[in-house]
Amino acid sequence: MTITTIPQADPTGELTNVWRELITTVISCVWDITTAVVGSSVGTIAKAGLYNNDGTIYYRLRDYRLYAMTLETPYDINSFTSNAQVLNAAAQLINTQGVCWANEGMAILITDTLNKVIYQYDLTSAYVVDNSTTYSGYSFSTASQTTGGLRNIEVDDATGKLFACDSGGVGYIHRYTLGANGDLSTPPVYDGLPEAFTYGDVVGLPESAAYAIRFSQDRLVMFLVDIASTVHQIQLVSPANWVGATYDSKVVSLVYAIQDISINPDCSSFVLANSSLNRLYPFNITLS
């Protein structure tokens, strides 16, 4: 693993040490999920989940509610010391399967799987969901593109793209362009079917329905969770872009209904969420 620090100006002095570290440090490492070893699972309901910016909180999505699991050791799901509800979105959501950050952590997006709608909730502090988090009034329907259920979603802030997993047909991942704010305040524009991901876009990737995707921190590795509870590792040629991607058969499979993956930016671990057995499964990876 290599760490590269890029100098950044801070003339106003408004950046805290934590934020300065986050925007100046780029972690580069080699992923190999075939070395993953499962650890002790945690009994809790999670249809999807994601870490905050420093791994000290794991937010788990359960139906229309979001819970914050405070972690004593960053990115270690077994070190949680509290597990409290921080958002109740019953007024908008019926059945949820996806959640992601947007607008550099100042918004969180949650899917309504049955109605194929994404809702936005605004935060007062980046990557902190608490009792001040409110529904923004912004939502976006993917019904015109989604043939199956709207599953998990992901936003790439650097390119301003929104990715939505479609469990129908051949497992499309639809791509949309966000507005200037990087959220739903401006309706996303569909990039079109030529830009949508299908399993045929990556040679050798077994065809299946797409449940979830996440990108590595440098966005050069895409992790794809399919309906068969398999996590596929896909090497990208350019950040968050599957054109010319290669599949090297690096997979992790479980005989459980895996809904989502959350990854540690340093490439050393990830967590799989299982909503059927109501458990979170942590995996540790041997770094190259």
User: How much is the average pLDDT of 66-81?
Assistant: 96
Tokens standing for residue 114: 């049955």
- Please determine, for residue 110, whether its predicted confidence score (pLDDT) is greater than 60: yes
Same domain as 57, residue 25: no
> What's the CATH code of the domain at 196?
2.120.10.30
| Full residue range of the structural domain in which residue 24 is found | 1-30
Whether residues 78 and 166 fall in one domain: yes
Structural domain total, the chain:
2
Distance of alpha carbon 252 from its chain centroid, rounded?
Answer: 17
Whole-number Å distance between alpha carbons of 208 and 229 = 10
Report residue 180 as tokens.
């200037």
Q: 99 and 23: one domain?
A: no
Query: Is residue 9 domain-shared with residue 150, that is, in the same domain?
Result: no
Torsions phi, psi for 185 (to 5 deg): -65, -25
- CB-based contact 260:226 (threshold 8 Å): no
**Per-residue model confidence as pLDDT tens digits over 202-219:** 877 877 778 899 999 899
Q: Are 44 and 88 part of one and the same domain?
A: yes
Hey, how many other C-beta atoms are within 10 angstroms of the C-beta on 2? Answer: 8
pTM of the predicted model, to two decimals?
A: 0.87
Does 7 share its domain with 92?
Answer: no
State the pLDDT at residue 104. 96
Please tell me whether residues 25 and 46 are part of one structural domain.
no
Q: Is residue 89 predicted with pLDDT exceeding 50? A: yes
List Cβ neighbours of 99 (8 Å cut-off, separation of 6 or more). Answer: 48, 49, 50, 59, 61, 66, 108, 109, 110, 111, 152, 153
Do residues 243 and 113 share a domain?
yes
Q: How far apart are CA 23 and CA 26, in angstroms?
A: 8
Q: Are residues 54 and 15 in the same domain?
A: no
Q: How confident is the model at residue 169 (pLDDT cuts 50, 70, 90)?
A: low
Residues 213 and 257 in one domain: yes
pLDDT above 90 coverage of the chain, percent: 53
Tokens representing 75 are 């990115």
Pairing relationship of beta strands 210-215 and 221-226 according to DSSP bridges: antiparallel
Residue 124 has pLDDT above 90, yes or no: yes
Spatial neighbors of 267 by CB under 8 A, at least 6 apart, are 1, 27, 29, 30, 31, 216, 285, 287
**Which residue type sits at 233?**
Q
Q: Are residue 24 and residue 156 in the same domain, yes or no? A: no
Work out the pLDDT band at 28, boundaries 50, 70, 90.
Answer: low
Q: In this structure, are 215 and 202 located in the same domain?
A: yes
